[in-house]
Structure 1
Amino acid sequence: MKKYAIIDGHTDVLYALPQQMRKFYQESERGHVDLPRIKKGNVSAMFFAIYPGVNQYYILKGARELLELVQEPKNELMIIKKASDVDTAEKENKICVIFHIEGVGGFDTEFHILNLLYRLGLRSFGITWSDTNIFGSGSSFMPGAPEETRGITGEGKELIQEANKLGVIVDVSHLSDKSFWDVLEVTKKPIIASHSCCRAISPHVRNLTDEMLKALADNGGVMGINFANAFLREDCGREADTPYTKIIDHIDHVVKVVGPDHVGFGSDFDGTGVPDEVKDVTGFNKLVKELESRKYSEEDINKICHGNFQRIFEKVWK
């Protein structure tokens, strides 16, 4: 893999493309992610989210749209199903797609849809978006909102066990605090928080506490730092003049609490407002330079950029 190639833990580009009436293979001034800008940002892989997964219609519609996006040769994409596919994609000059669903309220409790989509390439899902479904409860988007006391249901625990058996990553971003802890009690495999930040810096309920970070590290998991202004800022504000260095401040905090093996990038590009100085997926170049300026070693920058997520692929996927 190229030096400092990026694995991005979350993008909503699949949702954004039709909304913004643009083509993935054409560079655009709209949105955050397209093929030319991905190449400029040295991105090798992204978690492409199907959103929202609130019912079967949206899940199946999203799956069809993702498969059609990948099947278009001009898009130069490849759905990866095992860890070694990252190297295969690089040799074929393809961008890796991790097939992800953001909220699985549309899954049945006998897991027919999960098993079918697994065969089509699904390798990661979040149990909820910021809502509640039959499997568990999510966190609020409102700063200072009361804690959601419901957690993972019995059906949700069975879902986690089925994911572990198949080799599908379980993502705890968007879960309530109670659900987060419930997942850790059930899972036998490393988990991810694909696009979250540190609550010690930004007191938003979507972010993880230091205790959560330590538990995630004990599990062998990884948190992708979200670029959303509201999750980066101490005041949870959405202003776009948020310094891009806040992203690295959150990485610094994770490294201080649990070391460099449990943090990466989870931009949420095309799904949120990000700092103006980042602008789009080409902003990864600026973030890598900031890591270098803060005297991170080459080894640790490689971990943050791609190595930590690659380890998850190797541990979870069959």
Structure 2
Amino acid sequence: MYKIFRTTALLLIIGFIAHVGSASAAAGSFLDQAIKLMEICPLLDTHIDLPQIIRSLNRRPLDALLQLNGSFPGHVDIPRMRQGRLGGAFWTVWAPCYDVVDEDPGPDFNTPTNHLRDAMEMLDIIQNMIARHSGDLQYARSSAEVWDAFRAGKIASLIGMEGTHVLGNSLGVLRVFAQLGVRYLTLTHTCHSAFASSAGPGTPIAQAHEGTGLTDLGKELVRELNRVGIMVDLSHTTDATMRQAIAVSEAPVVWTHAGARALWDHPRNVPDDVLSLIGDGPGQKDGVIQSIFFPPFIGPNPGANVSRVADHMEHIARIVGRHRVGIASDFDGMWTTVDGLEDASKYPNIVAELLSRGWTPEEMCGVMGGNLMRIMDAVDAVSERLKGRLPSSAIWEKRKDLPSTKWGGGGEQVYWPRDVKDKVEKMQLRHDEL
């Protein structure tokens, strides 16, 4: 019933958009048209790093949350989001790679780090941020919930996770994050993980996995992401990881913040041959590419501006179609910005730029959020289809802590029943004999 209501509402919205667009062409500027359009369709930004700013500036991060209602350092606060007519945001659960925090997991990725703890604390910041600002922010996981928040006059707040190095090499940890509402997972950040190979920070990094792509555990991860309904995000990954993930995934894939490599040769951008794998044809997979605002990926810098961001979007659209592009700022996760998109108050500028290039209101409704929500719905449909599939029992092949033969306690093995102790001792004897 709700699906019928939502479909009817969207048809009415599209009709109204067409009327506003034709009337505004004569009556006002493209910026005026953009603002009116953004009041009808939600603009979803798939990558905002505000939680890391909160954590970076405050020893007691939760104490800083109330400050978001005023002027806050960085690119994002509630007044600027409201000024920029932001309809929804994916707040990122992230912890920097080990080269930044000097926590080396070792060549086998088995040396413990604080990444999982830090990721959990970032998720806690996001949950409390939404709860403290319930008049402006509303939690959402599905496209229907995005529309619910938008109609209520609130900013839909979704959760993304950046980098599998925060998972502790564990599919079990992934499943818990799924229960906590994570909606996409970026397969790497700027470092390799036990799951996948990274494109690095922009300069070459040493190879960690044969073929510079997914590991066997990484392929299991992609399948498990499909099962639990988390979008597979290919930003930051190597070309080989992109291709393999597209081939393995049963659900559409996303790039939550990336540009076109043909326009600016950076390893973080998507090459045309990979873009050509996205579509409806044989051997292709559906997906969406959300275009980033970070100048090093847009180029040339200095000089990158809103027009250049639109160039990337149009190049991508020429290959995959205008119904497979979207918007992703990377606000609060970058040290410089493009001219015209300096902070969260400036979103109307990119909408106006594309309108000025002849993109229709209907197409812009898709670019702002409709294209992404279509992919979210498709990922949810695959998850529903796979709900009878058992959770993957795969583990990182280089882990040495399973089975947990030291969990029995002291010399008397006080935590185990006698028969369990006997079995473990026999296992250890066989290992010694080997």
TM-score for both structures, normalised by structure 2: 0.68
Is the counterpart of residue 36 in structure 1 residue 76 in structure 2? no
Is the counterpart of residue 311 in structure 1 residue 374 in structure 2? yes
Q: 1:190 to 1:119 in 2, by over 3 A?
A: same
Q: Is the radius of gyration larger for structure 1 or structure 2?
A: 2
Match of residue 30 from structure 2: none
Is the counterpart of residue 152 in structure 1 residue 191 in structure 2? no
* Distance in 1 (alpha carbons) for counterparts of 2:72 and 2:230: 34
Q: How far is 1:73 from its partner?
A: 3.3
Deviation sequence 1:130-152 (CA, Å, 0-9, x none): 11010011102225x47954111
Q: How far is 1:33 from its partner?
A: 1.3
Q: Secondary structure of 1:133's partner?
A: coil
Which letter does structure 1 place at the counterpart of 2:49? D
Is the counterpart of residue 97 in structure 1 residue 160 in structure 2? no
Which letter does structure 2 place at the counterpart of 1:249? D
2:52 to 8, 15, 22: 15
Deviation sequence 1:79-126 (CA, Å, 0-9, x none): 212221112212333211221110022324552222222222111111
The answer to whether the 8 A contact 2:95-2:166 is kept is no
CA RMSD of aligned residues (A): 2.1
1:107 to 157, 164, 167: 167
* Distance in 2 (alpha carbons) for counterparts of 1:63 and 1:219: 30
Match of residue 247 from structure 1: 309
* Distance in 2 (alpha carbons) for counterparts of 1:174 and 1:228: 13
* Distance in 2 (alpha carbons) for counterparts of 1:147 and 1:248: 33
* Distance in 1 (alpha carbons) for counterparts of 2:269 and 2:135: 33
* Distance in 2 (alpha carbons) for counterparts of 1:104 and 1:225: 22
The answer to whether the 8 A contact 2:187-2:196 is kept is yes
Q: 1:118 to 1:28 in 2, by over 3 A?
A: same
The answer to whether the 8 A contact 1:213-1:257 is kept is yes
Is the counterpart of residue 178 in structure 1 residue 221 in structure 2? no
- The percent identity for this pair of structures is 25
Q: 1:37 to 1:212 in 2, by over 3 A?
A: same
Match of residue 408 from structure 2: none
The answer to whether the 8 A contact 1:25-1:75 is kept is no
The answer to whether the 8 A contact 1:79-1:121 is kept is no
The answer to whether the 8 A contact 2:42-2:150 is kept is no
Is the counterpart of residue 84 in structure 1 residue 144 in structure 2? yes
Match of residue 265 from structure 1: 327
* Distance in 2 (alpha carbons) for counterparts of 1:155 and 1:292: 44
Q: Secondary structure of 1:117's partner?
A: helix
Match of residue 51 from structure 1: 94
The answer to whether the 8 A contact 2:189-2:200 is kept is no
Which letter does structure 1 place at the counterpart of 2:147? D
Match of residue 295 from structure 1: 358
The answer to whether the 8 A contact 2:92-2:162 is kept is yes
Q: How far is 1:53 from its partner?
A: 6.7
Indicate the structure with greater helix content. Answer: 2
Match of residue 231 from structure 1: 297
Q: Secondary structure of 2:124's partner?
A: helix
The answer to whether the 8 A contact 1:46-1:97 is kept is yes
* Distance in 2 (alpha carbons) for counterparts of 1:212 and 1:289: 29
Q: Secondary structure of 1:78's partner?
A: strand
1:220 to 261, 281, 286: 286
Q: 1:286 to 1:62 in 2, by over 3 A?
A: same
Q: 1:192 to 1:125 in 2, by over 3 A?
A: same
